[in-house]
Amino acid sequence: MIVTEEEARAYVAGQTDAEGMARLEAFAALVLEENRHQNLIAKPTEPHIWQRHIADSAQLLENVSRETLGPNAGGPWLDLGSGPGFPGLVIAALCPKMPVVLVESRARRVGFLERCIAELGLPKCRVEGQRLERVTPFPARAISARAFAPLAKLLTLSAPFSTRQTVYVLPKGRSAAQELQDLKPSIRAMFHVKHSLTDPLAGIIVKA
């Protein structure tokens, strides 16, 4: 279990190189600075940004094959409701050769995400600044979402982007098991819940 900021940094460092850590250090600084102007993350979590937000996002990579994370993934990683960039921009910073699409409809957050992409040097990452329903569908290799919508609605909205090969990694907090249980049995059978490494009571809904 990842409890402290030191443990979180060490965990993330084990998934990337010095350049990746530098990108994430810069991203964390951008989030904290922008949080003075718009509410990106809860103020009490600011001193724990690596444990609560960055490592929490990075752990999703453990559920995705390495083939998915390179330049020939067969489709981009699609992050729904990216907000301040968790988990999508963390994934992009860790896997800069992989195409990543961030979907975010709030204009101020779109502007923030675009500034982060430019300053972190992530040309494979782009923002769709509109509601998911208005995005032209494409086959996504992986789909993530953090606090985007209830699971059933999320699966309906993301269906046009999903193929048989699409991996889902959905951090759902403490409601994960219940949201999965509420699905139709035929759909529920395709998913399972993994325990979060950053919160002993939280779960990640996975379809690999």
Please report the pLDDT score of residue 193 as a whole number.
Answer: 96
Measure the CA–CA gap between 43 and 180, rounded to whole angstroms.
Answer: 30
Cα angle, residue 105 at apex, residues 129 and 44 outer, rounded to 5° = 120
pLDDT, tens digit (0-9, with 9 covering 90-100), for 60-117: 999 998 777 777 777 899 999 999 999 999 999 999 999 999 999 999 999 999 999 9
Band of pLDDT at residue 173, cut at 50, 70 and 90: confident
Please report the pLDDT score of residue 67 as a whole number.
Answer: 74
Please report the pLDDT score of residue 68 as a whole number.
Answer: 72
Please report the pLDDT score of residue 58 as a whole number.
Answer: 98
Going across the sheet that includes 167-173, the strands are 125-128, 100-103, 77-80, 142-145, 167-173, 203-207, 192-195
pLDDT, tens digit (0-9, with 9 covering 90-100), for 5-56: 999 999 999 999 999 999 999 999 999 999 999 999 999 999 999 999 999 9
Task: Count structural domains, the chain.
Answer: 1
Please report the pLDDT score of residue 69 as a whole number.
Answer: 73
Please report the pLDDT score of residue 83 as a whole number.
Answer: 96
What CATH number should be reported for the domain holding residue 36?
3.40.50.150
pLDDT, tens digit (0-9, with 9 covering 90-100), for 191-207: 999 999 999 999 999 99
For 33, the domain range is 5-207
For the full predicted model, state whether its pTM sits above 0.75: yes
Please report the pLDDT score of residue 147 as a whole number.
Answer: 84
For the chain, the average pLDDT equals 95
Measure the CA–CA gap between 40 and 195, rounded to whole angstroms.
Answer: 25
Please report the pLDDT score of residue 208 as a whole number.
Answer: 80
Q: Is the dihedral of CA 52, 53, 56, 58 positive or negative?
A: negative
Within 10 angstroms of residue 114's Cβ, the number of other Cβ atoms is 16
Mean pLDDT of 154-180: 94
